[in-house]
């Protein structure tokens, strides 16, 4: 199963991400991880895939491509021009190019909300991991929710 993983750039719950991905892998058989190459949840997904030898595709945002259709050009604090929509455009490319069968969302901000919306629009099965802090009780609740979600597929 091709799985798109996304979430916040500051998401750093290594154990939660690793255990959730491992659990889904055992239940569904992840054949590929797709992620956006950002820090946080994307990096954790890449690290997990590397550790368990699951192929991983990285779809980087093209911040420097100012000629892409629909680009919105802004300047960063150093005066460098960039495409302010590159992250959102990358989100759509992850769906269009890699055709995931499942999406796993970790906590995040605006980019995560955009990706969640795109997954909904594409009709992708979406598993939301809400866990911020690890404890045996809350983790078991997450795993129970994953079980119920997998059974509903």
Q: What is the pLDDT along the chain (153 residues), one digit of tens a residue?
A: 999 999 999 999 998 899 889 989 998 899 999 999 999 999 999 999 999 999 999 999 999 999 999 999 999 999 999 999 999 999 999 999 999 999 999 999 999 999 999 999 999 989 888 765 555 556 667 677 777 777 776
CATH of 2-60+98-152, one of 3.40.50.2000, 3.40.50.1950, 3.30.450.90, 3.40.50.450: 3.40.50.450
One DSSP character per residue, 15-77 reads HHHHHHHHHHHHHH---EEEE---TTHHHHHHHHHHHHT--EEE----TT-TTSTT--EEE-T
Output the pTM of the full model: 0.87
How many whole angstroms separate alpha carbon 82 and alpha carbon 102? 31
For residue 135, how many C-alpha atoms fall within 13 Å in the half-sphere facing its CB? Answer: 4
């Amino acid at each position: 199963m091709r799985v798109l993983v996304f979430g916040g750039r500051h998401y750093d719950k290594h154990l939660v991400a690793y255990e959730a991905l491992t659990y889904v892998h055992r239940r569904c058989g992840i054949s590929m991880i797709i992620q956006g190459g950002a820090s946080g949840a994307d990096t954790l997904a890449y690290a997990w895939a590397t550790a368990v030898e699951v192929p991983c595709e990285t779809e980087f945002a093209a911040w420097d491509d100012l000629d892409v259709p629909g680009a919105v050009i802004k300047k960063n604090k150093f005066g460098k021009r960039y495409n302010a929509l590159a992250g959102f455009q990358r989100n759509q490319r992850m769906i269009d190019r890699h055709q995931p069968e499942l999406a796993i969302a970790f906590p995040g901000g605006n980019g995560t909300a955009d990706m969640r919306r795109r997954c909904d629009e594409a009709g992708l099965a979406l598993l939301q991991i809400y866990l911020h802090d690890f404890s045996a009780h809350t983790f078991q609740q997450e795993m129970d929710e994953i079980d119920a979600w997998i059974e509903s597929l």
